[in-house]
Amino acid sequence: MSELQGGPGALFAIGGAENKLKKRTVLQEFVEAAGGSKARIVVVPTASALGPDVIDVYRALFAALGAESVVGVRPENREDADDPAFIAPLNDATGIFMTGGNQLKLAGVVTGTAFGRAVTAAHARGAAVGGTSAGASILAEHMIAFGRSGATPRQRMSQLAGGLGLVQGAIVDQHFAQRNRYGRLLSLVAQSPGLLGIGVDEDTAAVVRGSHLEVVGRGAVTIFDGSRITSNAHYAKRSEPILASGVVLHVLPATATFDLQDRVLLSYGPQPPASEIAELEAAEADLRKLAKEIAAEGVSPRYYAERKRRADRRTKVTRPASSVNAGESRPEATEPITAGAELSVPDSPPADSETT
């Protein structure tokens, strides 16, 4: 894609620790969604505690992956986030990328400000908007501000804050398997069953286009659907374990696609291009036709020619007695003639010789 085509752009919720040195699949996909060689990317490192280096790293990465331009914009407080000078670069962006760091700081600076509204407007006109770690969580309407790790869902295990609302009806968590965040996401689903829980592994992205989610990267995306949950979340006390029965679990590896609205798996496994599918179907049709021809013919024409030659030999050698001329000797019929056997035909005696 060289220019924005209209309609909302893709959303990239990246689980953190995306590969920056070797196989940069996730970041490459983001650059392609942002316009490829025409991509104009704005990096927003507000959540990060690192200095200018974080901008330099992503500028070098996105430039190496083919982006046309990469700039950094870093509002540090809500006053900055309402300053037109910080907002102007977003107006021409085809891709906006928010780095990881402190999730609560990112939410406190960006949401409900002119900067946050500019990010939403950029997405609406077709820009790709992505984030890694904290930058992934803020894409949802409700984001996890902080919480504890653990496999068991417990009361008061995490705290929510307001997000940008680009991903509706869901909560996004990151570093999911690597930091054992199953319990805290499941506890939030138990408390708010109408929300899907989306947990994204490291070096993995949940790419949302419309209502469809596709998984990219080397890990998996875990989805908790609490539509039919039975839970005691409304009366469990303090840090007690929370009952969560009837939750539907989806673990989606790379290439899997999921409908966020209908909450069903759409497809999984490699999906070849349409041209390759057409070629495969044509080849399959040819194979079916060939199989029918082989079944009808049975064997090759050469086989039939050899059978005919041998049959002609047998006919010549085993002619009826009435057809044997005087002076000719009969072949000995001591052994049966079998297909493929070579027959030895006695030489006929000279016409003027005597027979005994």
Which residues are designated catalytic?
A: 133, 175, 202
Q: How far apart are CA 18 and CA 96, in angstroms?
A: 16
**Helix, strand, coil percent content, the chain, rounded in steps of 5:** 30, 25, 45
Quickly tell me which residue has 């950094």 as its tokens.
72
List CB contacts of 38: < 8 A, sequence separation 6 or more.
1, 2, 3, 68, 94
Specify whether the CB–CB gap between 151 and 183 falls below 8 A. Answer: yes
Alpha helices in 202-255 (DSSP H): none
- Both structure tokens of 317: 């050698």
DSSP 132-172: ETHHHHTTBSEEEEEE---SS-BTT-EEEEE---SBTTEEE
Specify whether the CB–CB gap between 50 and 29 falls below 8 A. Answer: no
Q: How far apart are CA 58 and CA 55, in angstroms?
A: 5
Q: How far apart are CA 109 and CA 257, in angstroms?
A: 33
- Both structure tokens of 241: 């374990």
DSSP code for 55 = H
Name the amino acid, one letter, at 300: S
Helices (H) and strands (E) in the chain, counts: 10, 17
- Both structure tokens of 324: 């044997």
H/E element, 283: helix 274-297
Could you give the dihedral angle defined by the CA atoms of residues 28, 31, 32 and 33, in that order, rounded to the nearest 10 degrees? 120
